[in-house]
Amino acid sequence: MTDTDSCDVIIIGGGAAGLMCAITAGQRGRRVIVMEHTDRICRKVRISGGGRCNFTNIHTAADRYLSENPHFARSALARYTPEDFIRMVRSHGIAFHEKKLGQLFCDGTAQEIITLLRTECGRAGVRIITGCQLRELTNNGGFKLRTSQGTFTAQSLVVATGGLSVPSAGATDLGYRIARQFGIRVAACRPGLVPLTLAPADLSVFKPLSGVALPTTVRFNGTRFEESILFTHRGLSGPAVLQISSYWKPGQPLTIDLAPGQDLPAWLAANGARKTLLKNALAEILPARLAETLAQRYLTDKPMNRCTEKELRRAAELLAGFTLTPRGTEGYAKAEVTVGGVDTAELSSKTMETVKVPGLYFIGEVVDVTGHLGGYNFQWAWSSGHAAGRYA
């Protein structure tokens, strides 16, 4: 290695977005170096989708993303679509299936997606350097990076360091620090797609239900998700809770319809003459342990035919609009993503280049664009990586 290596594009972060950007820029004939601080690329891809990588969602659209600017993602998503990535997956002979709700998973393992990215990087002449720590970054009409593996210069610098979630998979705050170094605003960050915790009083009621799951509609501030929730030994999880966690604000309650699609007043009226205990009747539409807990804690242990009309109405209201105020989240250690990040107002939605610093790009999760659960976050990584790769 010479004292200073020079190339056209340096990409910091060997994850999903960084490698897609590297492939796209490399295919244009740019000399590209990817710098990854851990000893291997794509650690999050490896653990994603329970090891099968939910690599895209066929229903991708800008309204599946949170951002201070809800329109920002539209351009990149339109110019590199789920179909574009699926074409690449097919060309590598990777078998996949739709699990539910447009979510595409590998039939085999996430390693197949990593092999795809590595192979395409190889074909595009991309150089990947692992175990490379940035020590100093300067910009004097070109970027100079002093690292643990030597000094590098490039015309373009792409920051693809991801979010703060799961530090054990390599997450750091370097991307946000680089933004601040160049006077670029970062929207406040918080864990997203994360299990929620309950205060001790609520936890003592619901912890015994740990492991119980049921279909629900969970609502917060006008946003709703119709999916399952799961009671855990710390609070609540399951797809509906993970989804709403990205929107939830501390101190505020969630509303949970525990029997979505059921006409509860009609059901209770039709069953009101039965001698069955209320908890046993409710167990016909809810998991039995939950029915018992709700009846004991909030309703009555009487049989249906001895319940007053008010008591039956109360049961219907409780099931349709159960409210719980989470105490907090399980934090970045358990979050799938980081909500917030580099302010999209600082970036071109077409190229992902910063307005203030020509040649500096931010892509992927480090940007204030956060997808819903279900393959949307990888699609944002592919689309934003591709957008920057066409111009860097």
Ligand X SMILES: Cc1cc2nc3c(=O)[nH]c(=O)nc-3n(C[C@H](O)[C@H](O)[C@H](O)COP(=O)(O)OP(=O)(O)OC[C@H]3O[C@@H](n4cnc5c(N)ncnc54)[C@H](O)[C@@H]3O)c2cc1C
Return d(Cα 152, Cα 145) in angstroms, integer. 5
Sheet of 196-197, strand order: 322-324, 254-257, 213-220, 223-231, 235-237, 196-197, 328-329
CB closer to ligand X out of 79 and 306: 79
Helix (H) / strand (E) element for 215: namely: strand 213-220
CB closer to ligand X out of 41 and 259: 41
What's the closest the beta carbon of residue 281 comes to ligand X, in angstroms?
39
What's the closest the beta carbon of residue 203 comes to ligand X, in angstroms?
24
Instruction: Name the nearest CA neighbour of 373 among 107, 100, 180.
Output: 100
CB closer to ligand X out of 48 and 329: 48
What's the closest the beta carbon of residue 377 comes to ligand X, in angstroms?
3
Return d(Cα 369, Cα 108) in angstroms, integer. 29
What's the closest the beta carbon of residue 195 comes to ligand X, in angstroms?
12
CB closer to ligand X out of 29 and 131: 131
Interface residues with ligand X (CB under 6 A) are 12-18, 35-38, 43-44, 47-49, 53-54, 134, 160-162, 165-166, 170-172, 174, 336-337, 364-365, 375-378, 381
DSSP per-residue codes, 94-128: --EEE-STTEEEESS-THHHHHHHHHHHHHTT-EE
Instruction: Name the nearest CA neighbour of 116 among 148, 93, 137.
Output: 93
CB closer to ligand X out of 105 and 247: 105
CB closer to ligand X out of 163 and 326: 163
Instruction: Name the nearest CA neighbour of 379 among 81, 64, 62.
Output: 81
What's the closest the beta carbon of residue 136 comes to ligand X, in angstroms?
13
What's the closest the beta carbon of residue 222 comes to ligand X, in angstroms?
24
